[in-house]
Amino acid sequence: MPQREPGTHVQIPAFSYLCPLPPCRKFEFNPKLGIDNPVLSLAEDLDPSDLWSLERPRFCLLSKEEGRSFGFHLQQERGTVGHVVCRVEPGTSAQRQGLREGDRILGVNNHVVEHEDYLVVIRRIRASSPRVLLTVLARHMHDVARAQRGNNDHLCPTLSPGVRPRLCHIVKDEGGFGFSITQGRRGPFWLVLSTGGAAERAGVPPGARLLEVNGVSVEKFTHNQLNRKLFQSGKEVTLLVAGPEVEEQCRQLGMPLAAPLAEGWALPNRPRCLHLEKGPKGFGFVLREEKGLDGRLGQFLWEVDPGLPAEKAGMQAGDRLVAVAGESVEGLGHEETVSKIRAQGSCVSLVVVDPKADRFFSMVRLSPLLFLESTEAPDSPQVTLSASLTETEDPPVEDTMVAPVPCCFRQCFLYPGPGGGYGFRLSCVASVPHLFISQVTLGGSAAQAGLQLGDVILEMNGYPVGGENDLETLQQLAEAKPPLHLKLAARPHQSLEAWIPPRTGP
């Protein structure tokens, strides 16, 4: 991107799509009917409700179409707070969703961005592709609000913490998917959960409104169409749902129940954050541009050399590169992507998805980058076994490797069952400043919440943890009133697997 001179505007063509203007309708004057030019729009003829809508924040849910972008240009003016839409391309999602020139961007997917750096806002929007929810305010009303309230107050309405739609992946068991649908000839539909069923274990809240099935909106489906869609899903289905509290807050704010707001609960696939430090033989992988599952060009990782940094960080041949140093590379060409990697020097952070994860996020039409940091489902309090804390002996020197904790982390909430435990074993190595998951009981609370062997514990009930000195404190925290709140780092693969002791019992 060229350097910005003081007082200039920077436009972001990545958001724009230039298309030919539609032909104007010819104006024919009929003296019997008076002036009736359908091309003109006079302010005094606007619906009063439209004028009122410009006086408050609006929500624009944009979707990228095949071969297009969102369809707007963004700029930042010198000496002003906020980010201004300077052009909206005709015939694009931005125009259809009511985005207007001069609108100020207040929020991106429930993130307040009024005071964020300009480039950070650009990265947020790009990282949300192919769908993004923008909160905007007409420029004249923004100026009035700033004059009244000053520059420090936030004007962006947001959902309360923890109040978000949920993207829940449900695996059918002997009781089916574990929900029924409220009767009605046509949507919207609400779900009635079976106690302890698959849907409840996957994090679907009671009284949830059903929004999407496998990335397809079902709000206007008939009951028969919805049943057919669920039947075609087979043994697994991914639902976008909104609990009653989410539905009510969105109604009060006038905010759509939009998929980019969702938290992932019990998802089968997630993006992986890899940290590579260049060795004497380089990183140990080859980047190639080729067509992906959706037929569009992407950047793929191949020829992962055994024993070199890429493999040690967990890279797998066939992974698709999603981001470099936290910045999305979707839509970038090969040379530009390579330049971004080289610009990181000898240490680089990459976000990748394997083919299964790529298919999953393509199906639900959401960016995997939205789920780097996400909340896992609180598990059912009825099912769990014991949890214990153990200290292991140091592994052989040649197998010991202190891997950096990945930047992508997640949170989960566990409830104890009748046995009083949580269904996982926590271990540490004396020479390594991390605690990690060394055993997960099948069917237990930890397993159903998504804990995996090798996951690193960063916090427990808000208390930062680091190593063997925290074992006694952690035992006390584990006995505290539930739920048990864990903050976990994504598994650093080989380096941590070397620390996991072999099982010695049933």
pLDDT tens per residue across span 30-85: 444 343 333 333 333 334 444 445 568 899 999 987 667 899 998 877 666 678 99
Query: Do residues 124 and 108 touch, judged by C-beta distance below 8 A?
Result: yes
Query: Do residues 89 and 72 touch, judged by C-beta distance below 8 A?
Result: yes
Helices (H), 343-481: 355-364, 445-449, 471-478
pLDDT tens-digit profile of 253-273?
999 999 999 999 888 988 999
- pTM for the whole structure: 0.65
Highest mean pLDDT: which of 82-91, 230-239, 398-407?
Answer: 230-239
Confidence category of residue 319, pLDDT binned at 50, 70, 90 = very high
Positive or negative CA dihedral for 17, 96, 104, 165?
negative
Percent of the chain with pLDDT over 90: 41
* Beta-strand relationship, 388-392 and 424-429: parallel
Helices (H) and strands (E) in the chain, counts: 13, 27
Residue, of 422 and 35, whose pLDDT is higher:
422
Reported as type and span, the H/E element at residue 93 is helix 93-96
Give me the pLDDT at residue 409, please. Answer: 66
When computed from its CA atoms, the radius of gyration of the chain, rounded to whole angstroms, is: 26
**What is the number of alpha carbons within 13 Å of residue 51 lying toward its C-beta?**
7
For 146, the token pair is: 């700033």
Confidence category of residue 311, pLDDT binned at 50, 70, 90 = very high
Helices (H), 334-470: 334-342, 355-364, 445-449
Residue, of 480 and 59, whose pLDDT is higher:
59
- Does pLDDT of 308 surpass 60? yes
Give me the pLDDT at residue 431, please. Answer: 53
Rounded to 5 degrees, φ, ψ at 279 are -100, -175
Query: Do residues 360 and 425 touch, judged by C-beta distance below 8 A?
Result: no
**Which of 462, 70, 109, 453 is CA-nearest to residue 263?**
109
**Which of 399, 407, 408, 387 is CA-nearest to residue 496?**
399
Contacts 24+ apart (CB under 8 A), 395-403: 395/429, 395/498, 395/499, 399/498, 400/429, 400/431, 400/432, 400/498, 400/499, 401/312, 401/494, 401/495, 401/498, 402/432, 402/433, 402/495, 403/275, 403/312, 403/313, 403/492, 403/495, 403/496
Confidence category of residue 475, pLDDT binned at 50, 70, 90 = low
Give me the pLDDT at residue 12, please. Answer: 37
Residue, of 224 and 27, whose pLDDT is higher:
224
Rounded to 5 degrees, φ, ψ at 41 are -135, 105
Query: Do residues 480 and 455 touch, judged by C-beta distance below 8 A?
Result: no
Query: Do residues 428 and 468 touch, judged by C-beta distance below 8 A?
Result: yes
Query: Do residues 258 and 61 touch, judged by C-beta distance below 8 A?
Result: yes
- Does pLDDT of 193 surpass 60? yes
- Does pLDDT of 366 surpass 90? yes
Give me the pLDDT at residue 405, please. Answer: 40
Give me the pLDDT at residue 67, please. Answer: 67
